[in-house]
Amino acid sequence: MDIYAIRLFEIDANLFKILIKYVSEERKNRICKLKNNRDKNRILISELLTRKIIYKKLKLNNDQIYFDKNQFGKPFLKDYENFYFNISHSGKWIICATDCKTIGIDIEKIRSINYKELAKNYFTNEECRFILETSANNQIRNFYRMWTLKESYIKAEGRGLSIPLKSFSIDINNKRINKVNSGYCEYFLKEIEIDYYYKMSVCSLNPSISNDVIIISENNLVNTFLNKTI
């Protein structure tokens, strides 16, 4: 398992025209429909990062990389059953986790929100107690801890919000997932430190979850495509 991260960066118009040629027509159309340049950059960088990682791991050239989606919209690499990846982004960070088994990753920037109401609506009673029975200073950080752990499991399962958030509970001390009506679920969870102002969690069927995050620089990513090494 490997976890990669890159900071969101600005792409000028000329560079954008060059880099977007390396993504699929479907993804290109989606990007071009967006009105916000920051959103366009984020999606393009996410796609290029994924392609760079696949090239590094599987030695596939860019024109050999084809993605598809399951019925719930989770993307996968076509014709490579033992390669799994998952992308998440928030604020200035874009992250990608890869493994030989199904994997989910989630990152969230810690923001001032009505976390008590959100926890009440989407978390189990046990999870709410974990958040609210701590000091006021820790409550919002614990909310984001719980949120990213739950999201990482949903993303690993690949069924999106067809899995109700209250249908399972996170045992945060033992990093276990407890199905509300059917007991323990065989997934492994880990919280990963990347930035004090963010929370990030990984969920996998693989018990060996890396502690390390491989940081990819802007120049490293861009030059991969400008130099046509991929």
At 175-190, the pLDDT tens digits run: 889 987 767 788 999 9
Instruction: Give the containing element (helix H, strand E) for 41.
Output: helix 37-58
Q: Are 82 and 58 in contact (CB under 8 A)?
A: no
Q: Specify the CATH number for the domain of residue 35.
A: 3.90.470.20
Q: Which two tokens stand for residue 56?
A: 């590094």
Domain count, the chain: 1
Give me the pLDDT at residue 151, please.
96
Name the residue range of residue 149's domain.
2-226
Whole-structure pTM value: 0.94
Q: Are 206 and 103 in contact (CB under 8 A)?
A: yes
Query: What are the residue ranges in the chain where pLDDT is below 50?
Result: none
Give me the pLDDT at residue 203, please.
96
Give the C-alpha separation, 153 to 202, whole Å. Answer: 8
Give me the pLDDT at residue 182, please.
67
Give the C-alpha separation, 196 to 44, whole Å. Answer: 26
- Whole-Å CA distances, 106 to 20, 41, 137, 213: 25, 19, 23, 13
Amino acid at 11: I
Give me the pLDDT at residue 10, please.
96
